Amino acid sequence: MTRDLRICFVGDSLVAGVGDPLCLGWPGRLTARAFAAGQPVTPYNLGVRRQTSADILARWEEECARRLAEGTDRRVVFSLGVNDTTLEGGRPRVAPEESTANLAKMLDGAAGRGWQALVVAPPPVADPGQNLRTARLDERFASLCREAGVPYVAAHRPLSGNAVWMHEVRVGDGSHPGAAGYEEFAALLAPHWAAWLCLAEQRRPG
């Protein structure tokens, strides 16, 4: 019998797939790859535009709990941080140490519920200054995930050098690519995604 694999994709507009005329984003494309590989997945896209890590922290666990029923293989993919590094009043909307602490609380919450987690780095946008701030946040997130033993896909730097992604972001609204950009993102994530799907289901401690 095929296992009941349920995955919540938690994050912002880049998780929601804003800008993609196919309405798939990278989560939809990864899910399609799983089906093509013979692994049916029930996906839930919980991306919300303009939300920071603080906004996501306030809502994510309740939203996931409604979808990740007991007795299923329950998983969460987190991708956030770009909105944290956006400047408002000359300062990032969320300070990097707070962003890291917010992600740490999410990972602790997932582990406590026995939900297997995967974290995807915040991707680059068209603003070089913001990309520098996001790159530093990417390093913080990577270090946190190493310490927590959670798989982390350091996609920020590869996408910064990806001509298709950067072109699509620039000709779009400055933050979101079109279909071809999301396809590049999904292709970058694909091997990490496939390996994560093969991990055994994590059980609640105790």
List, for the chain, all residue ranges whose pLDDT scores fall below the cut of 70: 1, 201-206
Q: How far is it, in rounded angstroms, from Cα 155 to Cα 191? A: 12
In a domain, 138, yes or no: yes
In a domain, 205, yes or no: no
- Domain range spanning residue 162? 5-197
- What are the start-end ranges of the H helices in 5-127? 13-16, 25-36, 53-65, 96-113
This prediction has a pTM of 0.96
CATH of the domain at 65: 3.40.50.1110
CA dihedral 29, 32, 38, 41 (to 10 degrees): 100
| pLDDT score, position 3 | 85
In a domain, 121, yes or no: yes
Helix (H, G, I), strand (E, B) or coil at 6: strand
In a domain, 206, yes or no: no
Q: How far is it, in rounded angstroms, from Cα 163 to Cα 148? A: 33
Q: Considering its fold, how many domains does the chain have in total?
A: 1
In a domain, 192, yes or no: yes
Token pair recorded at residue 155: 């996609």
Collect all residues with Cβ–Cβ distance below 8 Å to 106 and sequence separation of at least 6. 10, 56, 57, 60, 61, 78, 117
**Polymer length of the chain:** 206
At 23-49, the pLDDT tens digits run 999 999 999 999 999 999 999 999 999
In a domain, 117, yes or no: yes
In a domain, 97, yes or no: yes
In a domain, 204, yes or no: no
Collect all residues with Cβ–Cβ distance below 8 Å to 21 and sequence separation of at least 6. 178, 179
